[in-house]
Amino acid sequence: MEQLVIKGNVRLNGEVSISGAKNAALAILPAAILSNDVCVIENVPCVNDIKILLQSMEQLGVLIQYIDEHKVKIDSRNIHNLKIDYDYIKKIRASYYLLGALLGKYKEAEVALPGGCNIGSRPIDQHIKGFEALGANVDVMHGMIVAKASQLIGTNIFLDVVSVGATINIMLAAVLASGTTTIENAAKEPHIVDVANFLNSMGADIKGAGTDVIKINGVKELHGAEYMIIPDQIEAGTYMVAGAITGGDVTVTNIIPKHMEAISAKLSEMGVVIEEYDEAIRVIANEPLKNIHVKTLPYPGFPTDMQPQMTAILSKTSGTSIMTESIFENRFSYTNELNRMGANIKVEGNTAVIEGVAQLTGAEVSAPDLRAGAGIVLAALAAKGETTITGVEYIDRGYEHLENKLRGIGANVYRVLDKADKSIFKVV
Ligand code: EPZ
């Protein structure tokens, strides 16, 4: 079982380049199958979720060719299967975007119903409501969602909850529908805009992405396109916190600073110096960190995907901080692991009360999910002594070359194959 071993309490210093956005890529790659031609997607992050998604697309008959590590050619001209099995869904929930894309193009799709996951129950009722409003019949049979339509017709859809996944899936299904679809109470995350921009680059007609009303005028067909995915907001935020939690001086490059505003504002409130450049942010932490309160919200609010990383740094301030999670019901399980590292966090319902401590200490801990894993890695970077982290497979789902990037800014981090042999160093 692979583990990360981190010798912490080292001030991080230097530049780290941010990869393409995982959650944008998870939607843009399936969106490419809506075209009747070949698409070339650049800045695709080299993370496990993407590798699994591309394998599931191959199962449909899509030809996938890696031009280089981050550039993928997608040829959807010979799709012969409209069914995605549970094997893929259980590994990555986001293969549900194939439902919207296949339904949009072929008016038919069959995708295994995703279950809950480690951060909560995660229903998809809003996706289904959208497909049905467009005219599809959606049934759940033998664990599969089966969606079929004789035709898809544009309509008004008001989302009962602001959902990133439902907003994207409805855009995918509506782009080739006849007439106009309006999504109200739409999510506004940067990757929603990225997916809309990609679809528009293939000839779609989508307006308003990035606001809470998106209008999709259906078009007859989509052509091939070349497209570059935006940088990963959450990966960037994670490295910003890495600089701040270690009292370091770290510049994240290849980013869109506008996407980072909620995170920059909170770090600034804690006393961290934030310098913004055109495509970079420098984080300098010389002063003791102040306690603050944070609430996760849909974009442009503070992202839930940065909640564990922020909790990790708040555990090192000089006072009491409150973290309120308003998006997912079960996103605090990692706090037990942070407490084993000397943190003092009490969770009640959707709130964590974090009493800052002077020093975290290394321990043997386990990552329960992707972002929780990132939070634990950050705590380990600041902790005195050695931390061994299991559950690395979760972290590999969303962070490209994590240890290489961390080592590039001075961290002492190794991947070992098992606890007994810390000398086996696996370069990824
Ligand atoms: C996306 O998940 C991201 N995943 C998540 O990133 C992220 O945490 C989340 O958005 C919120 O920003 C991808 O983009 C692949 P939602 P998604 O639909 O689309 C409720 C990571 O670590 N809801 O915006 O599944 C839902 O339960 C991950 O990278 C319904 O009730 O999230 C939640 O409370 C994990 N019915 C809220 O809405 C629905 O039909 C927001 O979920 C859909 C959602």
pLDDT in tens, 218-258: 999 999 999 999 999 999 999 999 999 999 999 999 999 99
Length of the chain: 428
| CA dihedral over 265, 266, 272, 277, signed as positive or negative | negative
CA distance 384 to 242: 15
Quote the ligand 1 centre to 384 CA distance (angstroms).
35
| Mean pLDDT value of segment 376-404 | 97
Percent of the chain exceeding pLDDT 90 equals 88
Among 207, 284, 220, residue whose Cα is nearest residue 250: 284
Q: DSSP letter at 175?
A: T
pLDDT confidence bin for 144, thresholds 50/70/90: confident
Strands lying side by side in the sheet with 293-295: 293-295, 320-324, 351-355, 344-348
Instruction: Give the pLDDT of residue 181.
Output: 98
Residue spans of the domains in the chain: they are: 3-18+231-416, 22-228
Residue 94 CA: which ligand 1 atom is closest? 15
Question: CA 78 from chain center: how many Å?
Answer: 30
Average the pLDDT over each of 131-145, 211-225, 238-252, 332-346 and give the range with the smallest value. 131-145
Instruction: Give the pLDDT of residue 89.
Output: 75
Burial of 258 (0-12, 13-18, 19+ CB in 10 A): exposed
| Mean pLDDT value of segment 273-277 | 98
Quote the ligand 1 centre to 240 CA distance (angstroms).
23
pLDDT confidence bin for 211, thresholds 50/70/90: very high
Instruction: Give the pLDDT of residue 335.
Output: 98
Residue of 38, 79, 117, 273 with catalytic role:
117
Q: Is the pLDDT of residue 115 over 90?
A: no
Q: Is the pLDDT of residue 413 over 80?
A: yes
CA distance 33 to 103: 11
Residue 303 CA: which ligand 1 atom is closest? 12
| Mean pLDDT value of segment 19-46 | 97
Instruction: Give the pLDDT of residue 270.
Output: 98
| CA dihedral over 316, 318, 324, 327, signed as positive or negative | negative
Q: Does the domain spanning 22-228 belong to CATH 3.65.10.10?
A: yes
CA distance 54 to 251: 32
Residue type, 396: D
Among 99, 116, 117, residue whose Cα is nearest residue 107: 99
| CA dihedral over 182, 183, 188, 193, signed as positive or negative | negative
Q: Is the pLDDT of residue 309 over 90?
A: yes
Strands lying side by side in the sheet with 226-228: 63-68, 71-75, 38-42, 226-228
Instruction: Give the pLDDT of residue 162.
Output: 97
| Mean pLDDT value of segment 6-24 | 98
Q: Is the pLDDT of residue 76 over 50?
A: yes
CATH number of 3-18+231-416: 3.65.10.10
Tell me the DSSP string of 207-272. E-BTBSEEEEE--S-----EEEPPB-HHHHHHHHHHHHHTT-EEEEES--GGGGHHHHHHHHHTT-
Q: Is the pLDDT of residue 395 over 60?
A: yes
Average the pLDDT over each of 307-316, 328-337, 415-424 and give the range with the smallest value. 415-424
Residues with CB under 6 A from ligand 1: 23, 26, 94, 122-127, 161, 163-166, 187, 304-305, 327-328, 370-371, 398
Instruction: Give the pLDDT of residue 428.
Output: 36
**Fold match between 3-18+231-416 and 22-228?**
yes
Average the pLDDT over each of 141-150, 257-266, 366-375 and give the range with the smallest value. 141-150
39 among known catalytic residues = no
Q: Is the pLDDT of residue 427 over 50?
A: no
The answer to whether 162 and 185 are in contact (CB under 8 A) is yes
Tens of pLDDT, residues 159-210:
999 999 999 999 999 999 999 999 999 999 999 999 999 999 999 999 999 9
Instruction: Give the pLDDT of residue 425.
Output: 46
Candidate of 117, 119, 161 to mutate for ligand 1, largest count of ligand atoms within 8 Å of Cβ: 161
Quote the ligand 1 centre to 160 CA distance (angstroms).
13
Candidate of 19, 23, 52 to mutate for ligand 1, largest count of ligand atoms within 8 Å of Cβ: 23
The token duo for 52 is 């699994």
| Mean pLDDT value of segment 84-105 | 86
417 CB-near residues (< 8 Å, 6+ apart): 1, 2, 424, 426
CA distance 86 to 141: 13
| Mean pLDDT value of segment 339-359 | 97
Instruction: Give the pLDDT of residue 64.
Output: 97
| Mean pLDDT value of segment 152-162 | 98
Q: Whose CA is nearest to atom 43 of ligand 1?
A: 124
Residue 369 CA: which ligand 1 atom is closest? 22
The answer to whether 202 and 224 are in contact (CB under 8 A) is yes
Q: How many C-beta atoms lie closer than 10 Å to residue 367's C-beta?
A: 24
Question: CA 43 from chain center: how many Å?
Answer: 15
Instruction: Give the pLDDT of residue 207.
Output: 98
For residue 45, the SS3 value is: coil
Mean pLDDT value across the chain? 94
Percent of the chain exceeding pLDDT 70 equals 96
The answer to whether 9 and 383 are in contact (CB under 8 A) is yes
Quote the ligand 1 centre to 193 CA distance (angstroms).
16
Q: Is the pLDDT of residue 120 over 80?
A: no
Quote the ligand 1 centre to 209 CA distance (angstroms).
17
pLDDT confidence bin for 132, thresholds 50/70/90: very high
Instruction: Give the pLDDT of residue 84.
Output: 87
